[in-house]
Amino acid sequence: MHHIVPSGIDGLDRLLGGGFPKGSLIVIAGKPGTGKTILSAQFLYHGCIDYNECGAYVSFAEDKEQFYKNMMSFGFDFERLEKEGKFFFFDMITVKETGISTILESIISKFTELGVKRLVIDSFSAMAQAYKKPHDMRIVLHTILGKIVRSMGCTTFLIVEIPHGKSEIGLNVEEFVADGIIILKRSKIENKPLRILEILKMRGSPTPETRALFTLKDGFKVFLPFTYKTTERKNRFKPQPDTEGYFSTGSPDLDKMLGNGYPRGSTVLIEIDKRISVLQHHLICMTTARNFMSQGRGVIKILLIGTDVDAMNKYAITGGLTIDELNDLMRICVKYYSEPNPEPYVVTLSGKSLMEVYRNCNDIGQELRSKTKQPILWVTDVDALINIYGERKTLWFLRMCIARTKNMKDLNMVLLRQGYPKVAEILGSLAHVHLKITRKHGTVLIYGIKPRTNVHVLEMDVSEGYPMPKLTPVI
């Protein structure tokens, strides 16, 4: 492992199988504003702080004062590190072609003296502009950076600007001596910004995943595919307080994303990508259900077929709710149920028509309301309804539910899998809140259409002793 240099960047080292090859030359390429400087600065900063490796930044693009000021906004105090002799900044902005080779050589020989182990050159593109002939540039790159840096065992980042309107790196960088090439890209999902990191090559590193999402929220963070976590210690779920006009979602992160939570008397449409598992979307909807039950409120789920009953039960119990509480406060309304002795909270609906189902559910709601004297959370699985009754009747049923929710000041959560565009469009216009849960490069994403929000990465957090959604905005 001593041949690997950890970047210290959350997610990136795991993606690279530990870090970068020691003494390697890594090209960091991307268009302006994609995060190249932050990634490189974080690599240097963690090197100094966490691994006691001296770092240097050779800048053809930005002066020292501006760099220090920009990096302080991420909490990177390079000025202090410079005073401690752990970091060096070389301002090359005004250097002309005739002087570059000489100055670079003297800087690099100084690195040997200082024991520099991490180097960033920002940027190759600005440096190349000082040379009239690309051939001269290659010689400099090959001799000075390739041979000298490698012999010193100094891991070097070479920043390359991809011009606007171009997709390739340009300047034939791949022909040079790069051991690794990482490209940072901006992308979009439904007109909302996304950031993608792509590993084009990396010598000596097993990289089964070559693409990942990242954010610049509080520094550079790379997201790996969604992972399930188990709770070591089991605690009871701590309910999140509601406000006068809003129910809490049960998740401080989701409340923050939405601005307040869910308005009282509102309908929430959650559109779910077919590649999203039950547990992944339960992190969102069942956290709200747990928040209701933890405050002694009723939860009614319509209309399940099959094994989802067990998943709901399990999620509620991992939040420390007891079977007695579930029997008291939860009702799962099913059309067909194969278990001979269902739990008291499982109700088999007897009515054949959807009108009878609606009346059945209303009766169950009234029974729970008179018992708790509190609002109810309704969770409706639209796909199951459409499978049995068709789209037209299902939409009628949902309109009735939306009106009842508004009158009773309840909360109505409607879950819809992709594949019903017409239903999605109609429900989207009727719902007060419209969320989408989808996937990209194995990472689970959630974002608001109503209200409009940034894309957030959904991860599972078990630090409190029960599963909770952890949301990080992609900015």
* Span 186-213, average pLDDT: 88
Please name the residues in contact with 429: beta carbons below 8 A apart, sequence gap of 6 or more: none
pLDDT of residue 61: 84
Report the pLDDT averaged over residues 153-182. 77
Which pLDDT does position 13 carry in this prediction?
93
Integer Cα distance of 268 and 413 in angstroms: 5
Residue 31: pLDDT above 60? yes
Q: Given this chain, do its domains 4-223 and 246-473 carry the same CATH topology?
A: yes
φ and ψ at 447, to 5 degrees? -155, 160
Given this model, what pLDDT does residue 1 score?
41
pLDDT category, 424, cuts 50, 70, 90?
very high
The residue ranking higher by pLDDT, 384 or 402, is 402
Q: What is the mean pLDDT of residues 113-132?
A: 84
- Closest to 77 measured CA to CA, from 101, 42, 111: 42
Mean pLDDT of 429-434: 98
User: 102-139 burial by CB neighbour count: b if 16+ within 10 A, else e?
Assistant: eebeebbeebeeeebbbbbbbbbbbbbebbeeeeebbe
Q: What's residue 3's pLDDT?
A: 84
Parallel, antiparallel or unpaired: strands 376-381 and 211-215: unpaired
Range from 84-88, 111-115, 173-177, 307-311 carrying the lowest mean pLDDT: 173-177
Mean pLDDT of the 28-41 span: 95
Closest CA to 414 of 195, 94, 323, 429: 429
Percentage with pLDDT > 70 across the chain: 93
Q: What is the pLDDT of residues 347-377, one digit of tens each?
A: 888 778 999 999 999 999 999 999 999 999 9
pLDDT bracket for residue 5 (50, 70, 90): very high
The predicted pLDDT at position 138 comes to 73
Mean pLDDT of 84-107: 81
Mean pLDDT of 173-189: 82
- What pLDDT, on the 0 to 100 scale, is given for residue 209? 74
Above 50 in pLDDT, residue 56? yes
Confidence at 88, pLDDT banded by 50, 70, 90: very high
Q: For residue 322, is pLDDT > 60?
A: yes
Whether 207 shows a pLDDT value over 70: the answer reads: no
Residue-level pLDDT at 435: 98
Q: Return the CATH fold of 4-223.
A: Rossmann fold (3.40.50)
Reported confidence tier of residue 51, pLDDT bands at 50, 70, 90: very high
- Per the model's pLDDT, the better-predicted residue between 446 and 95 turns out to be 446
How confident is the model at residue 89, as a pLDDT?
95
The pLDDT of residue 406: 97
Q: Are 169 and 183 within 8 A, CB to CB? A: yes
Where do the structural domains in the chain lie, given as residue ranges?
Answer: 4-223, 246-473
- pLDDT category at 20 given cuts 50, 70, 90 is very high
Confidence band of 2 (pLDDT split at 50, 70, 90): low
What's the pLDDT at 10? 83
Above 80 in pLDDT, residue 290?
yes
> What average pLDDT does range 335-343 have in this prediction?
74
Confidence label for 263 from pLDDT (cuts 50, 70 and 90): very high
Write down the CATH number for the domain with range 246-473: 3.40.50.300
- In angstroms, the CA 204 to CA 201 distance is 10
Q: In what order do the strands lie in the sheet with 330-336?
A: 346-348, 330-336, 298-305, 376-381, 411-417, 267-272, 433-440, 443-450, 456-461, 468-473
Q: What is the mean pLDDT of residues 9-23?
A: 91
Residue 215 pLDDT exceeds 70: yes
Stretch among 73-77, 88-92, 132-136, 255-259 having the lowest mean pLDDT? 132-136
| Threshold 0.75, pTM exceeds | yes
Q: What is the mean pLDDT of residues 99-112?
A: 79
pLDDT at 454: 96
Q: What is the mean pLDDT of residues 150-165?
A: 86
* Structure tokens belonging to residue 78: 């390079």
**Of 142 and 21, more confident:** 21
Region 122-145 average pLDDT: 75
